[in-house]
Amino acid sequence: MEIFYIFLCLFSGQLLKHISNNTGIPYTPMITMGGFLVGMTETGGNAVTKSLTEVDPHVILLIFMPALIFESAFNSDWYVFKKQIGKILLMAGPIMLCCVALTSFVMYYVLNYRTEMSFMSCILFGSIVSATDPVAVVALLKELGASKRLSTLIEGESLLNDGTAMVVFLVVLEVVEGQKELEWLGVIGKFVRLAGGGALLGILAGIILTYWLHRIHNQPVLEANATVVTAYMLFFICEYHTVHVSGIIAIVTLGLFMSHNGKSRISTESEEAIHAVWSYIGFCAETAIFVLAGLWLAQIVLASFTWYDLGKSFALYFCLTLTRYLALMAFFPCMRRSGYKIDAKSIVLLAYSGLRGAVCLCLALLV
């Protein structure tokens, strides 16, 4: 029966994607609402309760993360990315950390969750909702013929931002669960180990994959399989408890390495096949995670929903956009000095482009 539900989910995604392409309605809200409506039924509610109690959240992370991240990194324009790297690092590093801090402050003091959550739990929440996933924004910018420099900046920030947010999430999660006490020297050391170790393993995997692709030239099935196997094995190795470095940063590094060096090793006949395979994997992962989010949301609504919580959710969305704008403006002078020219209007667009998506949902399911 579980296999039937999987293919029913993909069939529903097929129909809703077609509707989205013809109407312009965003796909992910539609598929999330579909999962929500199923979860509100008695049969759907029982099914999701069983799935959430039996499936290890780390398995969800392993299945979805490489699919959601590698394709975006692999398809990025390396030349533009390199020119914008200063801005991207600022947005994915200091600006993201500012957003985490400001969001924690909003949750604890402004929205008054101090009676329900500790301040460290608010920081954990801030790290989750600071993981941006502006797929729809980048697609819309491309359709409108907007500057590739701006779309690459948004997409590049999302790639590195996800890795940074994940590292902050893992560090704070241990403190919230009571496994460790907060020691800043230890926190900094773990942050460097997770981020640096992930980047090094990503480069190593890129070198191995590049050599592998060179040896199997003009074999589309094997070349596509090599990219899939390398991405998933790399993520598993990084997240394995004896290695334990950032799998997301490793996947991002692998994708960027392949964008810069690896594409020349892929035969012309195979390039289209590889993109088709990864597009389909990404579609399946995106559909599944948002259906699961809808089902999960239905369970929350059935269990403890209040209109007061809904009002706070809208207030939180406003605060998230405002804090992101304030963080961007604080670093605006630094951003103007690196890469391509940027103005105040672009900052407003960048503030609104920080949508939260599948990566954020994966982290939420881990809690």
Domain that holds residue 257: 69-366
pLDDT for residue 186: 66
Does residue 134 contact residue 155 with C-beta atoms inside 8 Å? Answer: yes
- Has residue 34 been placed in a domain? no
Residue-wise over 326-361: b if at least 16 C-beta within 10 A, else e? ebbeebeeebeeebeebeeebbeebbebbbbbbbbb
d(CA 351, CA 242): 38
- Has residue 13 been placed in a domain? no
Cα dihedral 185, 132, 225, 79, rounded to 10, equals -90
* Alpha-carbon separation of residue 193 from 53, 221, 232 (angstroms): 32, 36, 21
- Has residue 16 been placed in a domain? no
Query: Who contacts 359 (Cβ-Cβ below 8 Å, separation ≥6)?
Result: 65, 68, 69, 131, 133, 162, 165, 166, 248
SS3 for 360?
helix
CA angle 280, 281, 282 (to 5 degrees): 90
Question: pLDDT band for position 53 (50/70/90)?
Answer: very low
d(CA 156, CA 173): 26
- Has residue 24 been placed in a domain? no
- Has residue 29 been placed in a domain? no
- Has residue 206 been placed in a domain? yes
Query: For 276-318, how does the pLDDT look when each residue is reduced to its tens digit (9 = 90+)?
Result: 888 888 888 888 878 877 887 787 777 777 777 788 888 988 9
- Has residue 228 been placed in a domain? yes
Query: For 233-251, how does the pLDDT look when each residue is reduced to its tens digit (9 = 90+)?
Result: 999 898 776 677 888 889 9
* Alpha-carbon separation of residue 262 from 248, 249, 254, 266 (angstroms): 19, 18, 10, 7
Average pLDDT score, the chain:
80
pLDDT for residue 46: 59
- Has residue 53 been placed in a domain? no
Structure tokens at 305: 């929903």
Question: How many domains would you assign to the chain?
Answer: 1
